[in-house]
Amino acid sequence: MKKEIYIFALLLCCLSNISCAKEPLPDDMKFDDHPDNPDSVLHNDSKYIAVFGDIQNYFTSSQNMQYYKGSLQWITSHADKISFILHTGDVTNYNSPGEWQNFYNITAPYTNIVPFYTCIGNHDYLCSAPDPWNHRDSTHFSEYVGFPSTVSHIEAYYESGHFENVLVHEELFEGDDVYLLILELNPRRLVVEWADSLVKTIPNSNIILITHRYMTANAHRYTNLLYITDTASRPAQYVWDNLIYGNDNIRCVLCGHVSSLSRVLYSENAFGRIVPQIEFNIQKLPHGGDG
């Protein structure tokens, strides 16, 4: 049987129960009846990538954190089929050490089973009035996202010891390589040039690009800057024009930020390939994401 690769989002509508979780979820966590067993969406001859979008509100209350933990339990109970987890930015809501520590404490044990990778979102920087957002160094991001079980998969850093811009080497099926190109919020021009030079060294690879603020609510690429607006920063359209469009090995883009749950933009690159650009964001669902 032909091997297939699926990227899927963990939505309440498809995971109508998580009875396979190793620990019980809160008593008030009720699911509507659904005709399908959520485990049945995972085909035996396929491998999957799980995607979380904007998990920031999972860490605003202890009850919400249980929903996040339940999702990780479900994913890792299917580690034979789910190769790794990607998150599209906004790990925290306020970039507070407490939120970061909660994220790390819950997530770290599961990364020993299924690797977890995230890009940085605007809420992962410090916001202080009257300035709309502070500088790139106003974040705890790199202190909490470099899990020991996943750091070994990073092949290139833009800045040593920083995880905002990295190239990760992963596998789906054994021997079936995939690269994850993780880029910062409003990537700087030099970051885009660094990424372009990297992907050109692996022309026959499959690359997934993950960045936070990329697609608008109308499914267009951002042409403006927000949050970090220094002269070095570039909007999503610049990333498309100067990185994605001319590199046929970038097969899709994942992003978050917009509170619209999910949408897809299909664009043709310079080689005639249709590149799906997928936005996913769960932050407005109840309980921080509803598991």
Q: What percent of the chain has pLDDT over 90?
A: 64
pLDDT in tens, 167-200: 999 988 777 889 999 999 999 999 999 999 999 9
User: Residue 194 is encoded by which pair of tokens?
Assistant: 């660094």
Average pLDDT on 220-243 reads: 93
By the 10 Å C-beta count (0-12 exposed, 13-18 middle, 19+ buried), 134 is classed as: middle
Could you tell me the pLDDT band of residue 134, with boundaries at 50, 70 and 90?
A: low
pTM, 2 dp: 0.85
pLDDT of residue 69: 94
**CA 140/CA 126 separation, integer angstroms:** 9
Task: Identify whether 35 is preceded by a cis peptide bond (ω within 30 of 0).
Answer: no
Does the pLDDT of residue 73 top 90, yes or no? yes
Cα 157–chain centre separation: 18
Q: Are 221 and 266 in contact (CB under 8 A)?
A: no
Amino acid identity at 123: H
Give the number of C-alpha atoms closer than 13 A to the C-alpha of residue 63, restricted to the C-beta side: 7
pLDDT of residue 17: 31
Q: Is 275 helix (H, G, I), strand (E, B) or coil?
A: strand
